[in-house]
Amino acid sequence: VPRAPVAVVGASGYTGAELLRLLAGHPHVEIADLSAQRAAGATVGEVFGHLRGLPIGERVVDAFDAVRISNTAEIAFTALPHGHSARAVAALRARGVAVVDLSADFRLRDPAEYARWYGGPEATPHPAPELLAEAVYGVPERYRDAIAAASLVAGPGCYPTAAILAAAPLLAAGLIRADGLIVDAKSGASGAGRSPGLATHLPEAGEGVRAYKVAGAHRHTAEIEQELGAAAGASVRLVFTPHLLPMSRGILCCVYAAPGDALSALRTEARGRAVADALAAAYDGEPFVTALPAGACPDTAHVRRSNRAHVSATYDARADRVLAMSAIDNLVKGAAGQAIQCMNAMRGWDERAGLDAPPAFP
Amino acid sequence: VPRAPVAVVGASGYTGAELLRLLAGHPHVEIADLSAQRAAGATVGEVFGHLRGLPIGERVVDAFDAVRISNTAEIAFTALPHGHSARAVAALRARGVAVVDLSADFRLRDPAEYARWYGGPEATPHPAPELLAEAVYGVPERYRDAIAAASLVAGPGCYPTAAILAAAPLLAAGLIRADGLIVDAKSGASGAGRSPGLATHLPEAGEGVRAYKVAGAHRHTAEIEQELGAAAGASVRLVFTPHLLPMSRGILCCVYAAPGDALSALRTEARGRAVADALAAAYDGEPFVTALPAGACPDTAHVRRSNRAHVSATYDARADRVLAMSAIDNLVKGAAGQAIQCMNAMRGWDERAGLDAPPAFP
Amino acid sequence: VPRAPVAVVGASGYTGAELLRLLAGHPHVEIADLSAQRAAGATVGEVFGHLRGLPIGERVVDAFDAVRISNTAEIAFTALPHGHSARAVAALRARGVAVVDLSADFRLRDPAEYARWYGGPEATPHPAPELLAEAVYGVPERYRDAIAAASLVAGPGCYPTAAILAAAPLLAAGLIRADGLIVDAKSGASGAGRSPGLATHLPEAGEGVRAYKVAGAHRHTAEIEQELGAAAGASVRLVFTPHLLPMSRGILCCVYAAPGDALSALRTEARGRAVADALAAAYDGEPFVTALPAGACPDTAHVRRSNRAHVSATYDARADRVLAMSAIDNLVKGAAGQAIQCMNAMRGWDERAGLDAPPAFP
Amino acid sequence: VPRAPVAVVGASGYTGAELLRLLAGHPHVEIADLSAQRAAGATVGEVFGHLRGLPIGERVVDAFDAVRISNTAEIAFTALPHGHSARAVAALRARGVAVVDLSADFRLRDPAEYARWYGGPEATPHPAPELLAEAVYGVPERYRDAIAAASLVAGPGCYPTAAILAAAPLLAAGLIRADGLIVDAKSGASGAGRSPGLATHLPEAGEGVRAYKVAGAHRHTAEIEQELGAAAGASVRLVFTPHLLPMSRGILCCVYAAPGDALSALRTEARGRAVADALAAAYDGEPFVTALPAGACPDTAHVRRSNRAHVSATYDARADRVLAMSAIDNLVKGAAGQAIQCMNAMRGWDERAGLDAPPAFP
C-alpha cells in the first residue's frame, strides 16, 4: 500500500516539531512537503537539534507554496499564526488539498466571534469566512463522524481540548450546570510557543507560578465556551484562568461546576459514582482517553509526550460541587497528536496509527 | 536592651529551618533553646547543610524539655506534628512560656472540628482543649489586636493564609458571596515537609503537576472555611483543591466567587475597580501585603523567601464572577515568617523586625 | 511471523517502566511474562500511573519464577538489584533462556573487581562467576558481533555508556591518552532509581546541583575504566565525578584528555578536525549515535526519551587538551533502550526495531 | 552616624536587582542614585515585580549622569555591559567617586588581553586603559588589603570567583600543579542575564543540560587563568567548560588538577587530609567561605541567595588527581554580594555588613 503524501506547513515551531516527530513514525503517510517561512533553506536538523542525525533532520525546509504542495500532497497540516493560516488553508483547499489546521482560524463557528477575539483593535474580519461552514472542530471524541467526512478540520486549542475532555460528557448528561462554570488550567511553558520572551525566560519562570490573561482575556475562552455550550445545549459564559507553570509540557485542567438536575436528583451518596461513571462511559473504548478510578487525580507527568488524556470527576458533598479534571500533553493531544488523530479519522485509518507509543515516565 | 530569649521546638523540618534562619537575624531575640526529637545530639549544620559554617550551624540540637525551656526562654515556637505539638504547648504554657504554635493544633476553634479532621478514624479528642479559648489565630492582618494581647498564637496553615489574604477583605465588604466559593491553590513541594516519599520524589514530581486530596479531603479545608466564614459572618462550605507543582516553594491561590450584593449594586463598569480598591484599602499600610495594580497577577517568584504577599482581585464581567488571587512563600508568610510577625506583635515590636529582607529574584 | 516471547524481571523500577513502554511497541516481540517482587499481585497500571488505560497497564505483575519464565519466554530482561540479578540470571540461563541483564552483575569481567566494588565490606564473591565468561558487554557500537552471538548480555551502566560513546573511539585511534582521563558527568535524578530519599526529595534537589560519590567512590568507575581501558589497550585509572541535576532524565558526560601521539603528530590547526572526524567516522552508519558538527555541543534535551546519543569532540588549542562530550537518556540508551538494541542484535533484527521513535522536544 | 550615599548604575538587570535588594538592607549606606538606560523613567517596582510595595520599589529609575551621581554619591556600583561600563567608570572616577565595577572591564590587568577577549573582531582597545593600574581585583579572600586601599575595584566574574575559591589556596601551597588544570563549571540560567533568548527559553532549557562556549571560547577563561596563575606564580593555560543547568541560580565548579610537588612528597594516605586542611586553613576566619568536612560535597542549594561559598578538596588516590569544588550563588558571591563585600572592605566596615543573612533552604 503506498503511503499518503502529507505536507507540514509551519514546521519551525513546537507544534511543527511534534508533527514531524509523529508523522515520521506514522505507518500510512510520508512527509512529502515541509515548509516554514523563517526557516526556509535550513535543514530540519538545524532548526531542531533533537532531529539531527535522523533522516527527517536532513530534509530542507521550503517556503510555503500552495501550488507545489497541491502537486505533491493529499493532506496538509497548517501550523501558522492565526490569519496567516486561514490564507494558506484557503489556497490549499482551492487546490483540493485536505487540511488539518492547527491555528485558531477555523475553531470559532461564528465569524463575528472570530473578529472579536482575533481581529485586533479594528475587529478585522475573518480572512476566509466561506470555509467556516465546512470546517469541523477536531476533537474526535466529540465529532468523530463529522471529522471522518471532513476535508477541513480545525485543530482545537490546547486548553479547550483539556476542558472539553473533562467537562463535555458531564454537561451533555445534565450532571453539571452550564452556568457558573470555572475553568482553572495550568500549562507548561511550551504552550507559549518558541519565541523567547521575558515571561518564559528560565530565570523568571523556572521556579514560580502565575496566572495570566485572566477574566476573559485569553482567546481560548471563546473556544471553550463554544464547545461546552454545544455539549450543554445552552449558551455558556464561564471563567477561564490559564497559568504558566515551571515545566515544559502538559496541561492540568480543573473544571468546577454546580450539580445539574440529573445529579441533584440522586441521593447524595450516589453522586460521586454518577459523575465518575459518566466519564467512564463516555470514554469507554476511546483509544486515548482514560477515566481514572475514584480517588485518583490526573497527573500531567502520566501523559507527557503522548496523545493520551487522563480524566476524572469527583463530587464534593460538603460544598455540593463537581470537580472534573483532565491532564494532557499540550503539544500532542493538545495539538499535533490530535491533528494526526483527526487525519486518521478522515482517512478511515485506525485512529491510533502513528500515535500508539505509550507515555514515557518519568 | 537585652535580647529576648526564644526557643525553637521541632527544629529539623523546613519550618524549623526557616525559623532558625529568620530568628538568627532578628534584632530583638536570641535563640536560647533549640530542640528536635529525631535530630537530638546533632549540630544544626549536620541537619541543614546550608547552615554549616555559620554560628547557628554549630549549635547542638537538644531533645525537647519543657522545664529546661521554661528556665531559659520567654517565647517558644513549636513546630511539631499535630497532637505532639499540643502536648508540648500545654507543658510550656503551664510554665508560663508564651507560645506561637506552627502545628494545626490550635487553629480550629471548635474541638469537635479538630477531632473530626485530625482525630483519625476514632475521632480522638483534642489533647489540650482547655487552651483553645486562649489561642488566637495568627494572621496579623486579621487579628492584630488579639495577637498583641495573646500568650498563645496558632500559626495558620500555608494554604489558609493564602486564601484568607486574597478573599477575607472581599467577604467582609460583601463584595463576594460566601456560598459557592472555589479555592484552587498551587503549592511548591516544600509544603509536603521534609520526609521523602514517592509523591515528592524528583523524577516523579519534577516535571508535572497534579491535584491531591481534592473535594474536602485536605485538612486545611476546615481552617479556610472557619476563617472565611468569620470574615463573611456566615457559615461557609467551599471547594478546596490543592496542587503539587514542580518547584520547591510558593503558593499561588485563586479564589473564585459570585458577586455579593455590594458588588452587584454597582454598575458593571465599576465592579473591577471596586474589588481592586477593596484589597488596596484593606492592605494600605500593611508592611507585608501588597495589592497589585489592575491587570497584574501575583507571581510566587516575586515573594519567594520573604514574608511578603501579593494579592489581586479582578471582576470577570463576561461571567459575572470575581477572581481573587494571592502569592506567598509557603514557608515564610505561610509558616515561619508569619509566626515571627506574630511574636513581634505580641511583644509590641515593629512587625517588620527580622522580616524586612526583600524577596530575592530571580 | 510469530512474535518472540520475552520476559521482564524487575518491572517496578524506572528501567522496568521503560522496558515495558518500549517492548509494548516492539514489532517482533510480545511480553510473555512480567514480574517484580514488591509489586507482585498489582496491575502494571497501579504500579505506573502513566500506563493506566493501556493494554499493558491491565497486566498483573507476577512474582519471579524461573521455571514459569523458561516455559513461556525465549529472552528475559532482568532489572533487579545487583546480587539478586545474578541469581535470577543463573536460574534462567540454566533453563536456556537468553538474558539481557540490566544490573551490574555481569559488567565487570574480573570477579575480583566485582567483589571489591559490589561485595560490600566483606568482599562477598560474585554469585555466579561461571557465567562471567559468556557475558558480553552490551554496547553494540563496541561489541556488535559478540552481542549477536551471545546468550547473556550485560547491559552497561548509564554513566559508562555515556563515557564510552564519547571517548572510546578517540582512545582506540590514539588521539587521546589513556592516562589522566577526567570524566565529569551530570545526571538527571531518575538515575537514582525509584526509591525516595532525601537526596532526591524535590525540595532538596529540585533547584540545585551537587556532585556525589566523587574520587573513585562511585561503582561505575570500575566499569568505565574497564571499557576505556579496553578501547585504549591499556590499564586505565581515571577520575570520575557524577553529579545530580534538577531534572528527571539525561546524562551529559564530559571527558577531558591529553592528546595522544596520533594527535600531537598533527599540526595544531588540524587537531580539531581530527578528533571530530574520528567520532564522525566511528559512528558513520550507526543508527543511534550522531557526531555533531564542529561547534555544536550535545544537549540532553535533544535525546530525551529516545535511544539516541549525541557526541562531539573538540581540541582546546590553548590548553592542549581534548574535550569529548556525549548526551544520552539515562533510562533509554543508558538502560532499557540499549538492552533492547542488544536483543535486536542477538536476534538478527534491525537494531532499530522498537527504538526508532525520534526524541520528543521540547 | 550618617549613611554613606551610594549609586547603582545599571539597575535593570539581575545584578542590579541584587544590588538593590542587598543595599536596601545595608546598615551603613543609603541608595542615593539609581540609574538604568533602558528603564529610565520607570519605577523600580515596574522593572522588578518582586520589589513592588517596598520603599525601594517606588523609586524612579534615572538615566545615567556622572555629574549628578558625583554630586550625591560617594561610591558607585556600575553594572553595565563591558565597554559601556569602562566609560561610566572613567567619568565617575574623574569626579572622585569610588567605584566597584561589576562588568568585565577592569578584571584583566593586561589591556592587550582585554582587547583580545572583549575587543571584538577588530580587537578594539580598552576604553580607559589608564585606570587599569589602579583597579584591584575584587575577591576579598585573595586581595583584602589592596581592596581596602582601593578606589576602583573590579568585581570578578561569577565563574572565576567559583574557580578561585576552590583552587587558589591549593595552587598557592603547591599542592596542585598549575599546568593541566580542568575547570568544569555548572551554572544556573540567571548567569546569562535578563535578555530572553532561545538558549534560556524555558521549554528549551528547563529540563536538560548542555555545555557552551567550550575550549577557550568563554571570556571568563582569561580571567580564571590570570587569577589562578597569580596564585600559582606561573603562567596558566587551562580548560574551562561552562554549562547551563535547568535552575535559576548557582554555580558548582569542579577543578581537576595533578598533584603538586608539595602533595606528592606526602605519603599517599596523608594527601586527602592535606588538601582538605589547606582549604580549611585558607578560609579559617573568613566570614563567607566554609571548607566542608571530608566526604561532603558542595551543593548550590546550600548557598542560594547568600554571599556564602562552600568549598571542598579531595584527593583521588586511584587516579592521583585532586578534585577541588566550590558552590556559590552566581548573583551574590558571584556578583552583587561580593561587590558589597568589597565596598565594606574599602570603607573599613565589617565585611558582613548587609550580607549576613543566612542562605534560605530549601
Question: CA A161 to CA A173: how far, in whole Å?
Answer: 19
Binned at pLDDT 50, 70 and 90, residue B185 comes out as very high
- A357 and C299 within 8 Å at the Cβ level: the answer is no
Mark which residues 301-360 of D lie under 8 Å from C by CB. 301-302, 304, 314-321, 323, 325, 327
Backbone angles phi, psi at B137, to 5 degrees: -70, 125
Grid cell in block for residue B13:
523540618
pLDDT, one tens digit per residue, over C48-71 is 999 999 999 999 999 999 999 999
Compute how many other C-beta atoms are within 10 angstroms of the C-beta atom of residue B199. 15
> Min CA distance, A212 vs chain B (Å)?
7
Number of helices (H) and strands (E), helices first, in chain A?
13, 13
pLDDT, one tens digit per residue, over C174-183 is 999 999 999 9
Give the rounded percent of residues in chain D with a pLDDT score beyond 70: 100
pLDDT, one tens digit per residue, over C191-201 is 999 999 999 99
Could you give the dihedral angle defined by the CA atoms of residues B337, B339, B345 and B348, in that order, rounded to the nearest 10 degrees? -90
Q: Region C302-319: what's the mean pLDDT?
A: 97
Which of B209, B244, B248, B311 to mutate to probe the A interface, most A CBs <10 Å? Answer: B209
What DSSP string describes A231-262? HHTS----EEEEEE-SSSS-EEEEEEEPBPHH
- Whole-angstrom CA distances from C237 to C260, D180, D316, D320 are 16, 17, 10, 9
Residue with cell 506561637: B100
- DSSP H helices in chain A: 14-24, 44-47, 55-58, 66-72, 84-94, 111-118, 140-148, 158-172, 202-205, 220-232, 261-264, 268-282, 337-347
What DSSP string describes B327-357? EE-TTIIIIIHHHHHHHHHHHT--TTTTT-P
Collapsing DSSP states into helix, strand and coil, what is residue A8? strand
C79 touches C100 (CB < 8 A) = no
Question: CA A329 to CA B24: how far, in whole Å?
Answer: 45
pLDDT, one tens digit per residue, over B202-229 is 999 999 999 999 999 999 999 999 999 9
- The predicted pLDDT at position A57 comes to 95
C24 touches C50 (CB < 8 A) = no
Q: At what angle do helices A140-148 and A158-172 cross, to 10 degrees?
A: 100
Compute how many other C-beta atoms are within 10 angstroms of the C-beta atom of residue C144. 16
Extended beta strands in chain C, E state: 4-9, 29-35, 75-78, 98-101, 135-137, 152-154, 182-187, 210-211, 239-244, 251-257, 289-291, 309-316, 321-328
Choose between D122 and A348: higher pLDDT.
A348
Residue A175 has pLDDT above 90, yes or no: yes
- Chain A CA closest to residue B244: A299
- The predicted pLDDT at position D295 comes to 85
Question: CA D77 to CA D97: how far, in whole Å?
Answer: 10
Residue C318 has pLDDT above 90, yes or no: yes
Collapsing DSSP states into helix, strand and coil, what is residue B211? strand
Give the H/E segment covering residue D339: helix D337-347
Task: Answer whether A207 touches C (CB < 8 Å).
Answer: yes
pLDDT, one tens digit per residue, over B15-62 is 999 999 999 999 999 999 999 988 999 999 999 999 999 999 999 999
Give the rounded percent of residues in chain B with a pLDDT score beyond 90: 97
Task: Answer whether C249 touches A (CB < 8 Å).
Answer: yes
Does this complex have an ipTM over 0.90?
Answer: yes
Which of D235, D311, D318 to mutate to probe the C interface, most C CBs <10 Å? Answer: D318
Residue with cell 517588620: B352
Question: CA B299 to CA D174: how far, in whole Å?
Answer: 50
Question: CA D231 to CA D169: how far, in whole Å?
Answer: 7
Question: CA B171 to CA B165: how far, in whole Å?
Answer: 11
C243 touches C211 (CB < 8 A) = yes
Could you give the dihedral angle defined by the CA atoms of residues D170, D176, D179 and D180, in that order, rounded to the nearest 10 degrees? -110
Cis bond before residue A140 (omega within 30° of 0): no
Residue type, D118: Y
- Chain A CA closest to residue D205: A202
Has this prediction a pTM greater than 0.90?
Answer: yes
C255 touches C167 (CB < 8 A) = yes
Q: Region C281-287: what's the mean pLDDT?
A: 97
A304 closest CA partner among B246, C80, C351, C352: B246
Compute how many other C-beta atoms are within 10 angstroms of the C-beta atom of residue D123. 12
pLDDT, one tens digit per residue, over D9-44 is 998 999 999 999 999 999 999 999 999 988 999 999
Question: CA C215 to CA C198: how far, in whole Å?
Answer: 22
Chains that touch C (3 or more CB pairs under 8 A): A, B, D
Residue B6 has pLDDT above 90, yes or no: yes
- The predicted pLDDT at position A295 comes to 85
CA atoms within 13 A on the CB side of B359: 32
SS (H, E, C) D203-270: HHHCCCCEECCCCCCCCHHHHHHHHHHHHHCCCCCCEEEEEECCCCCCEEEEEEECECHHHHCCCHHH
Question: CA D275 to CA D265: how far, in whole Å?
Answer: 13
Mark which residues 171-200 of A lie under 8 Å from D by CB. 188-190, 192, 194, 196-198, 200
- A52 and C290 within 8 Å at the Cβ level: the answer is yes
What b/e string do you get for A216-226 counting C-beta neighbours within 10 Å, with b at 16 or more?
bebbbbbbbbb
Sign of CA dihedral B100, B105, B106, B107: positive
pLDDT, one tens digit per residue, over D226-252 is 999 999 999 999 999 999 999 999 999
Q: Could you tell me how many CB contacts below 8 A there are between chain A and chain B? A: 165
A214 touches B297 (CB < 8 A) = yes
Question: CA A321 to CA A318: how far, in whole Å?
Answer: 8
* Residues in contact with D343: Cβ distance below 8 Å, sequence separation at least 6, in sequence order: D6, D29, D75, D77, D100, D153, D349
Task: Answer whether A245 touches B (CB < 8 Å).
Answer: yes
C300 closest CA partner among C158, C108, C151, C144: C158
Backbone angles phi, psi at A208, to 5 degrees: -150, 180
Number of helices (H) and strands (E), helices first, in chain B?
13, 13
How many residues can be counted in chain B? 362
Cα distance between the two ends of chain D: 37
Question: CA D182 to CA C319: how far, in whole Å?
Answer: 9
Residue C295 has pLDDT above 90, yes or no: no
C239 closest CA partner among D257, D272, D270, D266: D257
A152 touches A103 (CB < 8 A) = no
Grid cell in block for residue C130:
561461571
pLDDT, one tens digit per residue, over A274-313 is 999 999 999 999 999 999 998 899 999 999 999 999 999 9
Residue C11 has pLDDT above 90, yes or no: no
pLDDT, one tens digit per residue, over D43-55 is 999 999 999 999 9
- C206 and B249 within 8 Å at the Cβ level: the answer is no
pLDDT, one tens digit per residue, over A126-144 is 999 999 999 999 999 999 9
> Min CA distance, D206 vs chain C (Å)?
8
Binned at pLDDT 50, 70 and 90, residue B77 comes out as very high
User: Is D342 one of the annotated active-site residues of the chain?
Assistant: no
Collapsing DSSP states into helix, strand and coil, what is residue B100? strand
> Min CA distance, C362 vs chain A (Å)?
7
A305 closest CA partner among C315, C50, C147: C50
Catalytic residue, candidates B158, B253, B254, B342: B158
Rounded to the nearest angstrom, the gap between the alpha carbon of residue C221 and the centroid of all alpha carbons in its chain is 14
- B317 and A186 within 8 Å at the Cβ level: the answer is no
Question: CA C47 to CA C19: how far, in whole Å?
Answer: 14
- C50 and A248 within 8 Å at the Cβ level: the answer is no
B142 closest CA partner among B288, B258, B254: B288
- Chain D CA closest to residue A190: D203
Question: CA D104 to CA D90: how far, in whole Å?
Answer: 14
- D202 and A206 within 8 Å at the Cβ level: the answer is yes
Q: Region B135-157: what's the mean pLDDT?
A: 98
- The predicted pLDDT at position A294 comes to 84
> Min CA distance, D241 vs chain C (Å)?
9
What DSSP string describes D144-186? HHHHHT-SEEEPPPHHHHHHHHHHHHHHHTTSB-STT-EEEEE
- A186 and B186 within 8 Å at the Cβ level: the answer is yes
Backbone angles phi, psi at B240, to 5 degrees: -125, 125
Residue C1 has pLDDT above 90, yes or no: no
Give the H/E segment covering residue B252: strand B251-257
Grid cell in block for residue C359:
526524541
C254 closest CA partner among C304, C181, C151: C181
Which of D14, D198, D201, D251 to mutate to probe the A interface, most A CBs <10 Å? Answer: D201
Q: Which residue from C182, C221, C297 is facing D210, i.e. has the nearest CB?
A: C297
> Min CA distance, C228 vs chain B (Å)?
30
* Residues in contact with B160: Cβ distance below 8 Å, sequence separation at least 6, in sequence order: B107, B220, B223, B224, B227
Compute how many other C-beta atoms are within 10 angstroms of the C-beta atom of residue A89. 28
